[in-house]
Amino acid sequence: MADEQPEIYLSDLRWGDGFDLYSLALHPQFFYRALNSNNAWVAWRALRYILKAKYDANRVVKAIRLKASDKLIGCVLLSNFNKPLQGQSETETFIAVPYQRKCIGTTARMRFLDWSLNKFPELQAIETMAHPDNIASINMQKRSGMKPIKIIPAEDGNYLGRDGKLEPRVIMRATRPEIEAALALARAQNLYSRDMLVL
């Protein structure tokens, strides 16, 4: 049984978040390609992640923080903002291993998507991806309206695992009305609240 979910809020990444990003990426069970793929120099990857969050106009990143301590425990983001020409973007979420399976990722993602739809009215569709075996991640995406639309076999993609080997991916997608409907249902079920801070 999952432990009780701690209170969280979302905010911009800070320069001082580098150590928390570095620490969560070193956990042997954690994998996120931008931070620790293929024997990466994690300290540099953490700094680069913050740099891109602050200065890359094609992405919006929010840190997931514990209210009690202000500690960074993950991130949610929209990327490829060159796609709003088509009204589309991509989303990703990662959570530090000790805080996984506590519904934190689902809660943060839903609140972030809610905020994003209000912030960017031109956004009409969002895509994401997951490993086919990562059922927890796929279910999290489904709760926010995402549906599988395509499976990319390992040999046909360029998605590397932590060991540097190619891996398959499931591509999932939802339109604005599908996301809005899923979020309304989630609020009715008290899965997240609009009162949760997004700074």
Q: Is residue 166 part of a domain?
A: yes
Domain that holds residue 55: 8-188
Q: Is residue 3 part of a domain?
A: no
Q: Is residue 45 part of a domain?
A: yes
Q: Is residue 89 part of a domain?
A: yes
Q: Is residue 113 part of a domain?
A: yes
Q: Tens of pLDDT along 50-107?
A: 999 999 988 999 999 999 999 999 999 998 765 545 667 788 999 999 999 888 999 9
Q: Is residue 165 part of a domain?
A: yes
Q: Is residue 196 part of a domain?
A: no
Q: Is the pLDDT reported for residue 154 higher than 60? A: yes
**115 CB contacts (<8 Å, ≥6 apart)?**
10, 62, 198
The two structure tokens encoding residue 150: 């395509």
Q: Is residue 53 part of a domain?
A: yes
Residue 170, domain CATH: 3.40.630.30
Number of domains in the chain: 1
User: Helices 135-143 & 104-119, crossing angle to 10 degrees?
Assistant: 40
**Residues forming beta bridges with residue 33, ordered by sequence position:** none
Q: Tens of pLDDT along 91-124?
A: 899 999 999 988 899 999 999 999 999 998 888 9
